Amino acid sequence: MSTTTGVGAGSPTFYTVREAARLMRIAPSTLYRAIREDAFPAVCVRTRYVVPAQAVEEMVRRTVDSGGVVDVAGMAAERRTAREVARVTGGARW
């Protein structure tokens, strides 16, 4: 079940892994694997994962803007690099 907030109450804030996988036309197990390998963003609460709707929208936006194939692993590598740079330069607290 998607979670919505008062802001833009018609659009979800989070998707379940099953919903996000259905939107992307992939198996939920594929998305779970990507999440566990830190190749796709998700929020983990105990043993449950939810996928931010913004992550799915960002992937669509990048695909449309590039006019080609977007590799989620590349997006994850960019995120990890940005986090590491922020950590080293004092921009993030760890």
Q: How far apart are CA 61 and CA 39, in angstroms?
A: 17
Rounded mean pLDDT of 34-60? 93
Distances (CA, A) of 23 to 26, 48, 56, 81, 91: 8, 19, 9, 27, 34
Interacting residues of 50 by C-beta distance below 8 A, sequence separation 6+ = 3, 14, 15, 16, 17, 42, 43
- Percent of the chain past pLDDT 70, that is, above it, reads 86
Q: Which fold has domain 3-88?
A: Multidrug-efflux Transporter Regulator; Chain: A; Domain 2 (1.10.1660)
pLDDT at 55 over 50: yes
Please give the model's pTM, rounded to 2 decimal places.
Answer: 0.72
Q: Where are the domains of the chain?
A: 3-88
Each residue's pLDDT tens digit, 58-93: 889 999 999 988 888 788 888 889 888 988 988 755
